[in-house]
Amino acid sequence: MSRNAALASVALLLLALLVLPSSGLGSSQVPLPTLYRPHTFKLNLDRDAARERVQVYDLRQGAMMTPTTYFRVGDRRKGAWVYVELTQVFQSPGSSESGLVQAWVRDLNGDKRVEIAVRDFATASVGETLTLYRQKKVHSLRFSKLQTIVGDKIVIARRKAPATWNVLIKANHAPDGRDHHELWRWAPAQKKWLCTTDCVPR
């Protein structure tokens, strides 16, 4: 099977997993893909009392079985998990060590909407990507992409909302040839995180 055919069949399988439960065929036995490095968060997103489930994980796809990072949002309906959103976050450049490192799912900026932050490792030379999504509105089960931050290493600096991020830029990635320790803060006016300290031009 060619790489494209393999990818297409995986895409079809994912589509089937998304469509089947909502079409009333939730009890049929569909083979589940293996989730690698899964991170599961249980939190209340909508107006019902039950908690929903956000999962961030890697799938190994294609001929090279390279990791691709996804998140999915599960809502429990009549005893079965229905996945109301499935989003591809990050595509590995080809190394099996790349992919999901860390994930945060909560109100990270203090605006009452839930954010999904996903930290992925690409390669030692390329570095890491932090991809941020935000609940479309309070009580929504859907998320839209907010922004992407790239650097050599990305860690959370302040965990309490509004969260801040430390982004290390190594000397070989900086025009002035020295290490930078960027600090990214939530900027309410711009509605995204912006670098405020020791920033490298992007």
Residues in contact with Ca ion by CB under 5 A are 44, 46, 48, 50, 107, 109, 111, 113, 115
Q: How far is the CB of 47 from Ca ion (least distance, A)?
A: 7
Q: In the complex with Ca ion, which residue's Cβ is closer, 46 or 198?
A: 46
Distance CA 190, CA 188 (A): 6
- CB closer to Ca ion out of 136 and 181: 136
Residue 18: CB minimum distance to Ca ion, A = 20
Strand partners, 36: 58
DSSP 158-181: E-SSSPEEEEEE-GGGSTTSS-EE
Q: Smallest distance, Å, CB 6 to Ca ion?
A: 36
Dihedral (CA of 41, 47, 50, 52) sign: negative
Minimum distance of Ca ion from residue 177's CB (angstroms): 37
Give 114 or 169: the residue with its C-beta nearer to Ca ion. 114
Sole residue written with tokens 């799912």: 105
CB 81 within 8 A of CB 63: no
Q: Where are the beta strands (DSSP E) in the chain?
A: 36-43, 52-61, 66-77, 80-91, 99-106, 115-123, 127-135, 143-151, 153-158, 164-169, 180-187, 192-197
Joined together, the tokens standing for residue 35 give: 């989730």
Nearest residue (CB) to Ca ion, 51 versus 60: 51
Give least dist CB 51 to Ca ion, A: 6
Contact 174, 150 (CB under 8 A): no
Q: Min. distance of Cβ 107 from Ca ion in angstroms?
A: 4
- With respect to Ca ion, which residue has the nearer C-beta, 72 or 113? 113
Nearer to Ca ion, 115 or 128 (CB): 115
